[in-house]
């Protein structure tokens, strides 16, 4: 019996279970793939890249396959100074983006110079039974290095029983400040929300990537 075989046999229980000591990097070096190995909880569904885009719309992918969906915003850059990054939902596959929403908005700020900080609720940026867009930030700068990054989670968008809760958390480079925004609320409809659209309050989404993920069911 070879040394590798002997070592492995010494780490197998009478029930046929391989003990942790019997598995090393070298013992599985010949394995090229694992069938049905469970991965992370996020399943990438689609990616869109902005390039002076008036808006970015996702009209497919939001369905009953997953219980929750995440949009990841990466290096969103605005073409117009102090523009808001914002979204709205649709119940008719994108023909109209006008879902009624009730939301909250608060933010934290810290100046690069350390001269100013803030933590506050923003009544001017929340919604109360409104079909208007929901803003996610205080206003992006247009310096070459200014950008916004964050995540929007929408829960059970295909439910025809419940309203559709969503949570956004993101950070932006508001000129000479770092600003973190927290937005939450619900789309007050029992119709399935099957499309969403993102745009700036003025100008275009000059650059950036938006990824849509499904959150894997347990």
pLDDT, tens only, 69-111: 999 999 999 999 999 999 999 999 999 999 999 999 999 999 9
Q: Say yes or no to pLDDT of 192 above 90.
A: yes
What value, to the nearest 5°, has the Cα angle with vertex 172 and ends 170 and 176? 150
C-alpha span between 211 and 217 (Å, rounded)? 19
Over pLDDT 90: what percentage of the chain? Answer: 78
pLDDT digits (tens, 9 = 90+) for 9-20: 676 666 565 666
Nearest to 139 by CA among 201, 208, 199, 196: 201
pLDDT for position 24: 59
Sheet holding 205-215, edge to edge: 42-53, 205-215, 68-78, 148-155, 164-174, 177-187, 101-111, 117-121
For residue 81, give the nearest of 171, 209, 206, 208 by alpha carbon: 206
| Token pair listed for 155 | 């829960």
Rounded to 5°, the CA angle 189-194-200 comes to 90
Domains of the chain: 1-37 (no CATH), 42-215 (2.60.120)
Query: What is the value of pTM for the model shown?
Result: 0.82
């Amino acid at each position: 019996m070879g040394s590798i075989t002997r070592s492995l046999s010494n780490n197998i229980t009478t029930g046929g279970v391989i003990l942790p000591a019997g598995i090393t990097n070298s013992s599985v070096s010949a394995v090229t793939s694992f069938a049905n190995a469970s991965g992370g909880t996020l399943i990438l569904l689609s990616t869109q890249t902005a390039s002076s885009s008036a808006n970015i719309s996702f009209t497919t992918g939001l369905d009953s396959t997953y219980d929750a969906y995440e949009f990841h915003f990466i290096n969103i850059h605005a073409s117009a100074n102090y523009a808001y990054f914002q979204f709205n939902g649709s119940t008719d596959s994108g023909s109209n983006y006008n879902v009624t929403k009730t939301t909250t908005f608060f933010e934290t700020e810290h100046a690069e110079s350390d001269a100013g900080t803030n933590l506050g609720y923003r009544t001017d940026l929340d919604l109360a039974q409104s079909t208007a867009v929901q803003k996610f930030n205080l206003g992006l700068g247009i310096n070459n290095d200014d950008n916004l990054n964050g995540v929007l989670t929408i829960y059970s968008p295909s439910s025809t029983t419940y309203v559709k809760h969503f949570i956004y958390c993101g950070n932006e480079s508001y000129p000479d400040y770092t600003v973190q925004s927290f937005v939450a609320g619900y789309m007050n409809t029992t119709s399935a929300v099957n499309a969403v659209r993102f745009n700036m309050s003025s100008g275009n989404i000059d650059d950036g990537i938006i990824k849509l993920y499904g959150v894997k069911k347990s």
